[in-house]
Structure 1
């Protein structure tokens, strides 16, 4: 009997180190794939922001377009639709006599609800195969249970570094020619998604395209071609240009670059070029990324609540005027304004900038931090639910910062933008 498997792509948009693809290719004689541009992701949220604005949407369009081509070369058709997965996937299962559905396991409430809706619409005879595939350290390999994830990052990091191993990668081979089916679906445009055209801003620190090839090329360039990896720790707090940091986060966020791929590449670099504080720090940051994923796995919907995971009651404001001034870069702080204009015009902001504008929003202006987090969700090319909400909780005093700090924005500007290069770049008259 011919077995047909369907891979439902979400935030795992790659062919390298892709567990669902590997499993499907081993367990079926025929494999097909589906990606849904869910219209709910392009609607306005409760604060009035479009949930996925044009910058991330364009990066996603580029990523899915390339994935379709790459899978086609492996004789796996990727069918792309604008629509709700619970309406589209059951149709494919029925028409193509699919016996198994493979997908990346998610745990945040909206993703779980949609997956459950899809599952409910399928026959109970369909095999439903979910795999954790977005971690550096797999949940089965960390030296603690999820309910015992430490509140402090350093404790988590040290235990993982000592006791956990990063799994080896496995990549799918080409499927037999008989698997080839012509897909007649097209990737939507920004206009199709109800979004406006992007005017390229030449000042951007993130001029990169979406897609697995671009992500792997960035890894190749940052490590091997320029050796910037050797200096990462010294430059990572930069603000201007493409190379002060790795910029891997956007490809990591939609899964077109695997954290394990970066880890193994860094280890290779350490053995062949140099092993130093900077190469270690790249892995250190991947562990931070894991930590926020485990915090959200442990605390569930508490990461979205006003009191956060600490259940700390603060007096929060939702002053519309102050929020709009922050968004438009019209606050009393030039450093905050420069960063807010950068994200507004490009969908990108440095890590240093994010910490400062978030702290200013939540700790200085005392505004409801969830509104700031929602704005970041809307605008950022590299939005990742766990890192975004984990970081906002952290800087707002309701998360994992044991020191409960408020950033001194003026001192931060003096330290990281002493020559005003960054502020001058963005505080000039807007190009558009």
Structure 2
């Protein structure tokens, strides 16, 4: 043994940063040498569980590769390096342990950030088995949330089943820990040990096709990595002061600054939620403190909430019946029908625009996610897991707890106390894209339709459609589903009475043609013109903090003394 020296292995996972990183600090305290490792786990690029989509599509894979490369560069500036494997973690660690033993520098510790869901826990179990067999101590560190698990004012089994109660308890009875400083001295790699590091893979190495040039329309033109993430945080707060108007802009659809865009860096651990919190608090002290600055923190709490919910309920978040154990008999798994949604060919322009943006860029706004989820489940009647796995595949910012927690929520089998919430696609489009600029950006075949008419092309006369160069069923699809409650708002876009909701099964004139399916409603009576609908007036009113319960132009209640935002998927 080389002077009795030892090494610690730090396995990076969804914590691809050096700032505010307790794992990194601990590794540098535990041993004479530190071996930073990242594994491109082949299981992350296999098909999804139920419907066999690519688990990681190209946009997120590119962001991941960029993030790992940036981490490697940052380690090299500290006279260290990142050892990269394209293998499952326990085999990679076994290889390193064998190399260290051969170089007479035994491994005395393995450190990693603790995760909470099924596949990630299985990875941890195999690492623990390996380390137990080699008498190596494992250190699991909680590091992904704003509030540390140990600081919650309740046991995991008592995590509240509504976000409002969770938020109130945590804000009043817990504290956010200070940001952890980087180690004063970074321990080197063991110089007498041959480590079999691989090159950082390309997309083709990972079994994916290369991406074309970045789409100029994207609202997320950023690269992955800690350096870029910290720069974005600095620009959003101190460079542009955009954070001071987050309340007014967060439901936007076009451009880079309508929202923070922090979520992809948070999902990969390139930026720490506690560091964001610290910077927000500094901004509030030095510039302005208002509802907008608070709402960013509010959204970080949603992210925490879904992680703690997954910790409480375990695998049930992935079950068809969700954490509520609620069975819905008529959810369809018709993949041909689902593909119309996934590819942006439903014939409902606001839905199609959002789905095309996701497929082309890996990004979709908060407002878009809530709407397309509602449409898939409540209008098309599809199994929510189709949407969850599609988002898992395509989203740049996929976080397993936030994604599946949100889809449980949207399907009425999760933490939403109002399980019958249903969004009105036409009102949502008219509220958040009143002139149709967003739809026009992504659904280019409708680009000639002026103003709000673009949201309801099936209500236009044959003459109008011909004038605008649109042929429904040919260069743009007829709508798969038309919900009765859309009629009031569809009439408002055209100032015509050519839309028929009423009792299910009605037809539209002027190009809508036959074969348009109607869902929901049934009585023909119109509910109030709000952002979302309930299947029964008796199932609850508006108000509170329910996610997606309208926006600044919706009909929700006040939500609290500070003007707490209604809605708010964990998406910035």
Both proteins in one fold, TM over 0.5: yes
SS of 1:308 mapped into structure 2: coil
Cross-structure match for 1:194: 207
1:51 aligns with 2:58: no
Q: How many residues align?
A: 430
CA distance in 1, matches of 2:39, 2:345: 38
For the 8 Å contact 2:80–2:188, the answer to whether it is kept is no
CA distance in 1, matches of 2:115, 2:76: 26
Q: Which has the higher helix share?
A: 1
For the 8 Å contact 1:74–1:174, the answer to whether it is kept is no
Within the candidate set 198, 202, 214, 2:228 is matched to: 214
CA distance in 2, matches of 1:61, 1:43: 17
TM-score by length of 2: 0.74
For the 8 Å contact 1:15–1:171, the answer to whether it is kept is no
1:328 aligns with 2:332: no
How far the C-alpha of 1:177 sits from its partner, in A, is: 7.3
Cross-structure match for 1:301: 315
1:416 aligns with 2:432: yes
SS of 1:310 mapped into structure 2: coil
Cross-structure match for 2:295: 281
For the 8 Å contact 2:17–2:71, the answer to whether it is kept is yes
How far the C-alpha of 1:161 sits from its partner, in A, is: 0.7
Q: How does 1:60-139 map to 2 (within 5 A)?
A: 60-96=64-100, 97-122=106-131, 123-139=133-149
With over 3 angstroms needed to count, the CA separation of the structure-2 counterparts of 1:131 and 1:84, relative to structure 1, is same
How far the C-alpha of 1:173 sits from its partner, in A, is: 2.8
Cross-structure match for 1:2: 5
Cross-structure match for 2:478: none
CA distance in 2, matches of 1:221, 1:373: 32
1:383 aligns with 2:398: yes
* TM-superposition CA deviations, 1:4-34 (whole Å, max 9, x none): 1110010000000111110111121211111
Cross-structure match for 2:252: 238
Query: Could you tell which deviates more after superposition, 168-177 or 8-17?
Result: 168-177
* TM-superposition CA deviations, 1:121-141 (whole Å, max 9, x none): 233510100011001010111
CA distance in 1, matches of 2:65, 2:36: 16
For the 8 Å contact 1:373–1:392, the answer to whether it is kept is yes
How far the C-alpha of 1:114 sits from its partner, in A, is: 1.4
CA distance in 2, matches of 1:34, 1:341: 36
TM-score by length of 1: 0.97
Within the candidate set 167, 172, 175, 1:162 is matched to: 172
For the 8 Å contact 1:12–1:254, the answer to whether it is kept is yes
Within the candidate set 279, 285, 293, 1:271 is matched to: 285
CA distance in 1, matches of 2:445, 2:176: 48
CA distance in 2, matches of 1:429, 1:166: 49
SS of 1:140 mapped into structure 2: helix
Q: Structure with the greater relative contact order (CA < 8 A, sep ≥ 6): 1 or 2?
A: 1
For the 8 Å contact 2:30–2:109, the answer to whether it is kept is no
CA distance in 2, matches of 1:240, 1:77: 39
CA distance in 2, matches of 1:318, 1:340: 18
With over 3 angstroms needed to count, the CA separation of the structure-2 counterparts of 1:176 and 1:412, relative to structure 1, is closer
CA distance in 2, matches of 1:170, 1:107: 22
* TM-superposition CA deviations, 1:63-121 (whole Å, max 9, x none): 00010111122233211111111211111022212110000011211111112112212
CA distance in 2, matches of 1:73, 1:174: 14
With over 3 angstroms needed to count, the CA separation of the structure-2 counterparts of 1:176 and 1:109, relative to structure 1, is closer
For the 8 Å contact 2:7–2:190, the answer to whether it is kept is no
For the 8 Å contact 1:231–1:278, the answer to whether it is kept is yes
* TM-superposition CA deviations, 1:315-346 (whole Å, max 9, x none): 21111221010011111311000000000111
Within the candidate set 241, 251, 256, 2:270 is matched to: 256
CA distance in 1, matches of 2:61, 2:6: 34
For the 8 Å contact 2:34–2:188, the answer to whether it is kept is no
With over 3 angstroms needed to count, the CA separation of the structure-2 counterparts of 1:121 and 1:414, relative to structure 1, is same
For the 8 Å contact 1:76–1:180, the answer to whether it is kept is no
Which structure has the greater CA radius of gyration?
2
